[in-house]
Amino acid sequence: MSAPSSPADLVVLGGGSGGYAAALRAAELGMSVVLVEKDKLGGTCLHRGCIPTKALLHAGEVADLARDGEQFGVKTSLAGIDMDGVNAYKDGVVSRLHKGLQGLVKGRGISYVEGEGRLASPTAVEVGGQRYEGRHVLLATGSYARTLPGVEIDGTRVITSDHALGLDRVPASAVVLGGGVIGCEFASAWKSFGVDVTIVEALPHLVPLEDESSSKLLERAFRRRGIGFELGSRVSAVQTTADGVRVELENGRSVEAELVLVAVGRGPISDGLGYAEAGIATDRGYVLVDELCRTSVPTVSAVGDLIPTLQLAHVGFAEGILVAERLAGLPVTPIDYAGVPRITYSDPEVASVGLTEAQAREKHGEVRTLTYDLAGNGRSQILKTAGAVKLVQVPDGPVVGVHVVGSRVGELIAEAQLIYNWEALPDEVAALIHPHPTQSEAIGEAHLALAGKPLHAHS
């Protein structure tokens, strides 16, 4: 398409979660919008992250149910994993969502530009020789899969999550470098597919950003599932062998497998895009912003994985909407990042909102905690899942942290988000009636116990 003759209200560079959310909301508010994307609308989340990985994890859950049906009195057997079929299912989900998103963008009258864009000035983005002027520019160029120094990604034996999503076979064995969200999710899915998996994590626990009690529950569950892990272990070398890869650790141990997945986090995509030339302040590649996502240049904002906030799709959505509403002159408030729900979609799932116990002690000094074991929850017994709800409370004050481990508990964290963000007292949540039998009762029962009136739990 040819560049519009008059400036748009907003030019968005990057069509991932943060960029397209801003574009959709800005258009809804009557602004003229140009949205530039070099790959596919929807970005990492839709095509190489949230959606396809959760489809893999669900396929893994189906495999586990087929394999273990007898414990429910249903005689089943697992004939095998057809990766062509799994990929067709996964790609079908992505394709339907992608088409829906394309329809939304078109329906809102957004000018969509395919091509690699760069910031040409504080008010312009250049794509393939065409210049798109805007009264305001939003940078939303996302992130890439990082690797470790000295570890070369070859796309076959040493791979990133991008490659892992396109595998056409089930590897016999895999070493996962990184025990964070991405590493634990792939380890979980692969184990369900029958892969012999070992996770290597440099820090002392899996999912190290979560409450330590959640990490320990996940480690216990992974042990029971036969997922191996080396904690507090740094990688010294990764070498290809005749039939796979060997990972050497600094502690002298080594692990061999068919392939290695490097899952050590994601870094910002900002190099060579004209940010420095336009005067945009950065740090280690991240674009620096204030609490309302404004950069050091008044006409430029930035959102999503490009800025040093939580790298989550729903954070990108929220930041994009905030920017669009701010530019439209609506009143906006800064995002409380502690109040954003966080989920690791492994089996079991790890979900949390608010402060960990350690963070709460650092911020508030004395805190109260209560742990409610899912063994006392009827629905969890039916699902044959183990885990717990842990609450962190300021004494005589609100609940400032909710941490949950168990199958499917990610669906519970929306209520926990309300509890944290509305600064609810245990008594107030205890007064709410939760439906029986559901896992949501575990949230209610934990608050009943914290309020000093336990029902199916010890106080």
Which residues are known to be catalytic?
Answer: 436
CA 443 – CA 459 distance, rounded (Å): 15
Distance CA 224, CA 215 (A): 14
